[in-house]
Amino acid sequence: MIKLYLTPGTRAGRVAWLLEELKIEYDLEVLPFTKEGLKSPKHRSRHALGRVPVIEDGDISIFESGAIIQYILDRYGNGRLKPDINSDEYPYYLQWFHFCEGMVMPPMNQIVVQTVLLPPDRRDETVLNQAKNLLTKSLSPVNDFLDGKDYLIGEFSAADCMLGHSCYMANRLGCVNDEMANVKKYVSNIEGREAFQKAIKLGDEAGNPIG
Per-residue pLDDT of the chain (211 residues; tens, 9 = 90+): 999 999 999 999 999 999 999 999 999 999 998 989 999 999 999 999 999 999 999 999 999 999 999 999 999 999 999 999 999 999 999 999 999 999 999 999 999 999 989 999 999 999 999 999 999 999 999 999 999 999 999 999 999 999 999 999 999 999 999 999 999 999 999 999 999 999 999 977 555 555 4
User: Which pLDDT value is given to residue 159?
Assistant: 98
112: left (phi over 0), alpha (psi -120 to 50) or beta: alpha
User: Which pLDDT value is given to residue 203?
Assistant: 77
- Neighbour count for residue 107 (Cβ, 10 Å): 21
Parent domain of 21? 2-81+196-206
Q: Report if residue 40 sits inside a domain.
A: yes
User: Which pLDDT value is given to residue 211?
Assistant: 41
Q: Give the long-range contacts of residues 41-46, CB within 8 A, separation 24 or more.
A: 43/5, 46/5
Report how many domains make up the chain.
2
The verdict on 71 and 97 lying in the same domain is no
The verdict on 21 and 108 lying in the same domain is no
How much is the pTM? 0.94
Q: Report if residue 211 sits inside a domain.
A: no
Angle of helix 105-112 relative to helix 165-172, nearest 10 degrees, comes to: 40
